[in-house]
Structure 1
Amino acid sequence: MVSGERVRLQVVKGRKQTDSWLPTPDGTPMRIEYHRTLLADRVRNAAFHRALQSVIVPGRTTVADIGAGTGFLGFIAAKLGAARVDLYETGEIAELARRLLKHNRLSQARIAQVHSTDVETPDRVDVIVSETLGNYPFEENIIATLNHARAHFLAPGGMLIPRRVEQFVCPVVGERFHRELTIWDEVGYELDFAPAKIMSLNNIYVRWFAPNDLLEAASAAVAWDKVSFDKHNKTTRVGEAEWLTNKPVTIYGRALGWSAELTSSVTLATGPLDARTHWEKLYLPALSQIELMTRQH
């Protein structure tokens, strides 16, 4: 897109479509399996459906779905009776979203294959929904996206979904995660793979944790960061957390999770006591296990 050019949303109704589409610009296939994983997450889908259902007034509410992917959330908004739904998606998946929109006959929805921040003067809407949450919640730039969307897309009195995100951290006491990453010590044959082990431990992993994998059965989780999207937020996040042990314990790393308040009545979270989602949690291994005594930080 040329900088400064006004984006005109194209209503897909009546546009000729084909049964195939081109590869992405770098020649790789479209990431359809990633989007299949998202749509297979029933916990995610149900939470966003409840959130949209609670705020859409049929025939009146206008909605923007930013980072629309296949268009699922925008399509749900249309099915719930939104007066107009604008979908913004910069990736090649937008072509599939167009086909799906036409296939589902959602005439009040329209798609622009463009990054929302490149839209100079968009039509403002009552509700902005953006499911651009990652395993680390902000890895898909949702903070910058909603900073811009709130200022340029949202009508007076409108609302954002999600409203806020809070991040949590908890020490990992389950030894199995450490054993998995230090298997280098057991290669044998009089070979030392210590440098490879350090590389494995200097990494971040997506894992699912049961409560007993975490300190005090996950009750020791501490909130270290909170972002409310009703104001401008910094994209770099900094926080602190500390714990005081009540018995001897071995720490193997930290688990990171988050809780997203979609609306005042709907929350989506990735904690060990919450329904399992495709996001799971992040595991940050310790380079070596940490032995703590009672009443030690």
Structure 2
Amino acid sequence: MRIEYHRTLIADEVRNDAFFRALKSLIVPGKTMVADIGAGTGLLGLMASKLGAKEVFLFETAEVAGVAAQVLKANRAKNCHLIPCHSTEFDDRLSADVIVSETLGNYALEENIIGTLADARSRFLKPGGAIVPSQIAQYVSPVVSARIDDELRAWGRIGHGLDLGPAQMMTLNNAYVRLVQPSELLDDGASAVAWDAVDLRRETRAKRKGRAEWRVAKPATVFGFAVWWTAELVAGVSLSTAPASPRTHWEQLYFPLTRPVQVKAREQIAIELRSNSSEEAGTHLAWTAVHENAQGAVLSRQAHDLNKGYLP
């Protein structure tokens, strides 16, 4: 069991404080029923209990559910009910006032939060109830620092007359969790573009697709793209993995390019991003970079697909 992973979650004070404030704004002591989807070791459910929730239902699977059971017992949380299965496997209906789920990844949707909350919303939530988080926006910015690119091109520096090109291409068809500094981004990240917006309160597709583009004011070399997200938990309370935001246990995602792109002033660089997440198949990612001259003619196009980089 990855107890160390769960330790990093509960050690994330930025995350914990944001969810606490969101729950506090929604819970009416003695009245509010809460469903905690993907409860982990039980922290958010316990927060809801301490804030006065009438009842809290915690859904968690596998070994960590056993830890959550012990944690609830240690806290004498008699109004907390642990359900040791995935919420989609629970046959009964609930009538929750609040559904909370911290099933966010470095790539926001990698834990299938869209499908999981769609099911919970339809079967567990009262009319007019609240979902936390309520919305997710995904952002992207060109990376103009060679630091991560240099790291990924180790295959080409092996020497000895050897060619490890096929392995290099697999490396460049993967996405990487990396901490990116604002100074490594185009315009220090100020020109980041929101390429996707998800409203978890409404029916939405698990397949996501978006495009972002930048017409540069001065020459730049683009080595890849950084992606991050901002989640609105409730109105006025947000959580972000942006490079300039307070540090959390999450980091940004880095999408490489096969070849760095030299972009001249007034030329355009664009990226088209696609993803699909499901409980059965995990998360698939694909991205295509397009370089155009000042007149809009395509100078180069580089298509990348995680399936080409995945090694079982």
Bigger mean CA offset, 246-255 vs 180-189: 180-189
| Separation (CA, whole Å) in 1 of partners of 2:227 and 2:67 | 33
How many angstroms does 1:94 deviate by? Answer: 0.5
5+ residue gaps, structure 2, are 269-312
Residue in 2 that maps onto 1:185 = 156
After the TM superposition, which parts of structure 1 deviate over 6 Å for at least 4 consecutive aligned residues?
none
| Separation (CA, whole Å) in 2 of partners of 1:195 and 1:118 | 42
Q: TM-score, normalised by structure 1?
A: 0.88
Partner of 1:241: helix, strand, or coil? strand
How many angstroms does 1:195 deviate by? Answer: 2.3
Q: Of the candidates 23, 26, 34, which is equivalent to residue 63 of structure 1?
A: 34
5+ residue gaps, structure 1, are 1-29
1:228 pairs with 2:180: no
What is the aligned-residue RMSD (CA, Å)?
A: 1.1
| Separation (CA, whole Å) in 2 of partners of 1:200 and 1:235 | 26
The number of aligned residues is: 268
1:46 pairs with 2:17: yes
Q: Of the candidates 75, 78, 90, which is equivalent to residue 119 of structure 1?
A: 90
Q: How does 1:90-101 map to 2 (within 5 A)?
A: 90-101=61-72
How many angstroms does 1:183 deviate by? Answer: 2.1
Residue in 2 that maps onto 1:245 = 216
| Separation (CA, whole Å) in 2 of partners of 1:91 and 1:225 | 32
Q: TM-score, normalised by structure 2?
A: 0.84
Residue in 2 that maps onto 1:73 = 44
Partner of 2:233: helix, strand, or coil? strand
| Separation (CA, whole Å) in 2 of partners of 1:107 and 1:41 | 26
CA displacement, residues 155-182 of structure 1 (integer Å, 9 cap, x when unaligned): 1221000010011111111111111111
How many angstroms does 1:193 deviate by? Answer: 2.4
How many angstroms does 1:187 deviate by? Answer: 2.0
CA displacement, residues 58-96 of structure 1 (integer Å, 9 cap, x when unaligned): 111111101111111101111111111000112221111
Q: Of the candidates 109, 114, 117, which is equivalent to residue 146 of structure 1?
A: 117
The structure carrying a bigger strand percent of its residues is 2
How many angstroms does 1:197 deviate by? Answer: 1.9
Amino acid at match of 1:252: F
| Separation (CA, whole Å) in 2 of partners of 1:278 and 1:135 | 9
| Separation (CA, whole Å) in 1 of partners of 2:226 and 2:161 | 34
Amino acid at match of 1:196: A
Q: Of the candidates 244, 265, 288, which is equivalent to residue 273 of structure 1?
A: 244
How many angstroms does 1:240 deviate by? Answer: 1.1
Amino acid at match of 1:132: T
Residue in 2 that maps onto 1:286 = 257
